[in-house]
Amino acid sequence: MAGALDGIKVLELTRVGPGAFCTMMLADMGAEVLKIEAPPSGKLAGSGASPTPDQAKKLATNFTNRNKKSITLNLKEAAGQAVLQDLAKDHDVLVEGFRPGVMGRLGGDYDTLSKLNPRLVYCSLSGFGQDGPYRDYPAHDLNYLALGGVLNLIGQPEGPPAIPLNIIADYAGASMHGVTGIMFALFARERTGKGQLVDVSYLDTTISLLAATPNVRDYFADGTMPGRGKGVFGGGFAYYSVYNTKDNKQLSIGCTEPWLWNNLCDALDRPDWKDCGMKAGDFSQTTTERHQQVRQELQAVLMTKTCDEWYDFLTKADVCVGKVYDVPEVFDDPQVRHRQMAVELDHPQAGKVTQAGVAVKLSDTPGSIRSFAPSIGQHTQEVLDSLGYSADKIAELRDKRVV
């Protein structure tokens, strides 16, 4: 079955996960993604040699590089830059994740490549974007969350900020916005015939995500200052928090709508708690003594049964509830398996392996997992052959460690 992006050719020049995740989503939907990597040192440089068993296992479970091909290319050499420019002439999209200015030094900046291919959609993922006073600063997810106001809002008010892995700025931010920007630009190209630069900043996307929450809305509306541990999503209100259960596990309750909280109160035969359902002012408020009391009482009730018992009971009562899973439990969950978000695959060397499935479900042009992550340079020969390079030219590039 055809994928939504069949026929779209993508070049990837990234060295960190968010860029690879961005192009993986394109690859899952049928795009042909060619990953350009620096040649490894040693005798196997650019050879695409068969991986060792340990390497095979890592490749088999390398989620973000599936459905891709790999070529090695030394872009510090003029000959390597020439190969990149030849490739760009025949590709629809390029995704790069270097600091601003680096691709210019490597002969692959937007101005250079767009002259060779005016239809090229060129996506740059960088910390602070292609301009501005912070443009050249180094940073990572934690720094963007700090600067974007997110970090200061996560955790309990009496403690330091909680660090939410690197899923906000890196993946929800850069990766997802990168895919969206690329699709916007491809859609525009259908009308104009021209590609364009897609400038995605990790900091910009972090701020955009935070702005979708009531914290920023209320601040812009009336100057209300959000604070760590305050508001509906801070964990202090009984209707939106995490609780311990009898078997030393945890259960999340998320009844923000008053009728859902009422469902919980009715199920537990505690109508006296209904006054602690969510109210409009809760978005920017700290909890009252009454809320704290009800939360403690609910905690005591939830300690009387196991996590599984409460989950079965409360879901039947139409209550928003979720078990707090560890990673193995996630991929063993019946809903996760039914939705094919835990996919078992047969790898020729590593045997049966599990990967996360395709999250976006399309009815007519679904995404698919067609190949495992390639070894470094696995497709170098194939790609150079497709460009029409002679055997002597390819041998010369190998001898000079350009590929």
Q: Parse the chain into domains and list their residue ranges.
A: 9-210+365-399, 232-244+250-323
CA distance 51 to 60: 11
**What's the confidence (pLDDT) of residue 50?**
66
**What's the confidence (pLDDT) of residue 67?**
96
Residues of the chain with pLDDT under 50: 43-47
**What's the confidence (pLDDT) of residue 117?**
98
Q: Where are the alpha helices (DSSP H) in 223-365?
A: 258-267, 289-302, 307-316, 327-332, 334-338
Of 110, 29, 103, nearest in space to 68 by CA: 29
**What's the confidence (pLDDT) of residue 42?**
54
State the pTM of this model: 0.92
Of 212, 165, 202, 204, nearest in space to 22 by CA: 202
Q: What are phi and psi of 341, to 5 degrees?
A: -95, 0
Number of neighbouring beta carbons within 10 Å of residue 249: 18
Q: Where are the alpha helices (DSSP H) in 200-326?
A: 202-211, 214-222, 258-267, 289-302, 307-316
Percentages of the chain per state (helix, strand, coil), in multiples of 5: 45, 15, 45
Q: What's domain 232-244+250-323's superfamily in CATH?
A: formyl-coa transferase, domain 3 (3.30.1540.10)
- What is the per-residue pLDDT across 276-296, written as a single tens digit (0 to 9) for each? 999 887 877 778 889 899 999
The CATH number of 9-210+365-399 is 3.40.50.10540
